[in-house]
Amino acid sequence: MNFKEQGQGPAVILIHGLFGSLDNLGLLARALGEQYRVISVDLRNHGASFRSDDMSYPAQAADILTLMDRLNIAEATLIGHSMGGKVAMQVAKLAPARVTKLVVADMAPVAYPHSRHQSVFVGLNATLAAQPQSRNDAERILAAYIEIVGVRQFLLKSFTKGDDGWHWRFNVPALEENYANIMGWPEDEHSFEGPVLFIKGGDSDYMQPQYSEAALAQFPAAKVRVIAGTGHWLHAEKPALFNKLVVDFLSTGG
């Protein structure tokens, strides 16, 4: 599992979302680096981490716990955005003694019934078929399938040139094959009693009122904060406010 480490102090692990990489929460990592030992990770099938046919949340949670063991971290605060939030929640539920606090950015602990990334996969597969030889060429292909410029720009952060030409740093076939698991959520009886902060983008539809009961059943001590005027990428849209909410939560008793 690829990771980047900075700072000293209590351990904090930052976990990116679908199609992301360890750089996605870089502004938060820098904000925390003066007081904490910050470990930013590439999840399996993302960035420079290993490839796998299994994207289940128990498997991804095991990756985090294995990394903690490798780094001699007995317990850590976990901060995850989107799919990374689900990974963090799964770790907390399966190994609560290893998690000090939990911060989840714009994600609920539920199975999402609707396909949200169909056009993204169509666009990514189109680039795989066309084999573009520059980032500009890749963007022109994506633009035929993905209207939102910000989404294209986010994806293109993981389009890079290697020894064998241009390629996606995430594993498109594995992510598409496991999409039902990624959008889903394991049904179990586990819960995490420790401090939890959910941060919702005010304009995002990922955290709905009807999910509150399920969230509190699994995380009874959870608190929710809303950042108005932001969507799903709240940490990038209003980083100063997002970082302040996280820092304040980590520096208090929860």
One digit per residue, the tens of pLDDT, for the chain of length 254 reads 999 999 999 999 999 999 999 999 999 999 999 999 999 999 999 999 999 999 999 999 999 999 999 999 999 999 999 999 999 999 999 999 999 999 999 999 999 987 789 999 999 999 999 999 999 999 999 999 999 898 999 999 999 998 888 999 999 999 999 999 999 999 888 999 999 999 999 999 999 999 999 999 999 999 999 999 999 999 999 999 999 999 999 998 66
Q: What's domain 3-112+184-251's superfamily in CATH?
A: Alpha/Beta hydrolase fold, catalytic domain (3.40.50.1820)
- Bridge partners of residue 80, in order along the sequence: 15, 104
CA gap 196, 186 in Å, rounded = 19
Task: Indicate which residue of 16, 81, 117, 232 is catalytic.
Answer: 232
Q: pTM of the prediction?
A: 0.95
Q: Are 83 and 193 in contact (CB under 8 A)?
A: no
| pLDDT number for residue 253 | 66
Task: Indicate which residue of 82, 158, 204, 235 is catalytic.
Answer: 82
| pLDDT number for residue 254 | 62
Q: Is 232 annotated as catalytic?
A: yes
Q: Name the nearest CA neighbour of 185 among 109, 115, 95.
A: 109
Handedness of CA 67, 234, 183, 92 (dihedral sign): positive
Provide the residue ranges of all domains of the chain, joining segments of one domain with +: 3-112+184-251, 118-177
Range list of β-strands (E), the chain: 3-6, 11-15, 37-41, 76-81, 99-105, 159-162, 165-168, 196-201, 222-227
Q: Are 189 and 94 in contact (CB under 8 A)?
A: no
Distances (CA, A) of 145 to 151, 167, 199: 11, 18, 30
Q: Token match 């598409």: residue?
A: 176
